[in-house]
């Protein structure tokens, strides 16, 4: 299906905003900087994204949507919110391996770090970040439910939060910024997450 002109314009604006965050950082993340990077007037940018928080939220939501699409394709699993059916250890291993790969792109790590820095001083940006992690955790919770259907909703939320924290922390420490990526470390991260998903000790 061909995208509408409006959708294409929005995509171009989001591309420019992401590039500003990655190359210039949040210190140069005012609306005028985003507009200049996209080659448009501020009024044009604000037609689609009235505030900086709206723009940041859209950048994050698109990032999550694209990531879920890639994960579905790489792991061969339905990751929709209403997905059902059991989850084998083989399934979770494929999914977690793909998820760890998703957290390996340095540009994405830089973008998220800059948004975190922005959110630390901007409550609207912080709200956009919380919305992103809420959606991320909800998808993880849905997958955990397929591995541990006996868990209550609070327990599912807790396990999902632990997995999100594990992989988000790993994204920074495994990146070229911190340089702690190792093959054994990656296996350990996946093994720890599998234990959370299936509620049992990993196979030795």
What pLDDT, in 10s, does the model give residues 68-83?
999 988 888 777 656 6
Q: What confidence category does residue 86 fall into, taking pLDDT thresholds of 50, 70 and 90?
A: confident
pLDDT at 204 > cutoff 50 = no
The per-residue pLDDT for 74 is 84
Q: Are 45 and 34 in contact (CB under 8 A)?
A: yes
CA distance 50 to 46: 4
148: left (phi over 0), alpha (psi -120 to 50) or beta: beta
The per-residue pLDDT for 84 is 65
Comparing 167 with 26, which gets the higher pLDDT? 167
- Mean pLDDT, residues 34-63 taken together: 95
- Mean pLDDT, residues 26-45 taken together: 92
Residues 6+ apart with CB under 8 A from 194: 89, 92, 93, 96, 202
The per-residue pLDDT for 77 is 78
Q: Are 109 and 175 in contact (CB under 8 A)?
A: yes
Report DSSP state, residue 76. Answer: T
Mean pLDDT across the chain: 91
- Cβ neighbours around 7 below 10 Å, total: 10
pLDDT at 11 > cutoff 90 = yes
Angle at alpha carbon of residue 123, lines to 99 and 53, rounded to 5°? 65
pLDDT at 203 > cutoff 60 = no
Residues 6+ apart with CB under 8 A from 72: 78, 79
Query: Which pLDDT tens digit goes with each residue over 100-156?
Result: 999 999 999 999 999 999 999 999 999 999 999 999 999 999 999 999 999 999 999
Q: Lowest-pLDDT range, 20-24, 47-51, 79-83?
A: 79-83
The per-residue pLDDT for 2 is 55
Q: Lowest-pLDDT range, 23-27, 96-100, 176-180?
A: 23-27
CA distance 34 to 65: 22
- Mean pLDDT, residues 169-183 taken together: 96
pLDDT at 91 > cutoff 70 = yes
- Mean pLDDT, residues 30-47 taken together: 95
């Amino acid at each position: 299906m061909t995208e509408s002109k409006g959708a294409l314009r929005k995509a171009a604006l989001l591309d420019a905003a992401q590039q500003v965050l990655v190359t210039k950082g949040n210190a140069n993340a005012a609306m005028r900087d985003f507009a200049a990077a996209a080659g448009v007037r501020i009024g044009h940018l604000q037609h689609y994204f009235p505030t900086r928080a709206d723009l940041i939220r859209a950048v994050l939501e698109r990032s999550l949507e694209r990531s879920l699409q890639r994960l579905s394709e790489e792991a061969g699993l339905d990751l929709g919110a209403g997905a059902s059916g059991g989850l084998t250890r083989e399934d979770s291993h494929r999914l977690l391996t793909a998820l760890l790969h998703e957290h390996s792109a340095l540009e994405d790590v830089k973008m998220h770090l800059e948004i975190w820095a922005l959110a630390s001083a901007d409550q609207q940006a912080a709200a956009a970040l919380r919305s992103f992690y809420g959606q991320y955790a909800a998808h993880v919770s849905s997958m955990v439910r397929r591995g541990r259907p006996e868990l209550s909703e609070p327990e599912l939320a807790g396990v999902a939060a632990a997995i999100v924290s594990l992989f988000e922390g790993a994204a920074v420490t495994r990146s070229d910024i911190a340089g702690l990526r190792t093959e054994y470390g990656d296996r350990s991260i996946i093994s720890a997450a599998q234990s959370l998903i299936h509620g049992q000790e990993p196979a030795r």
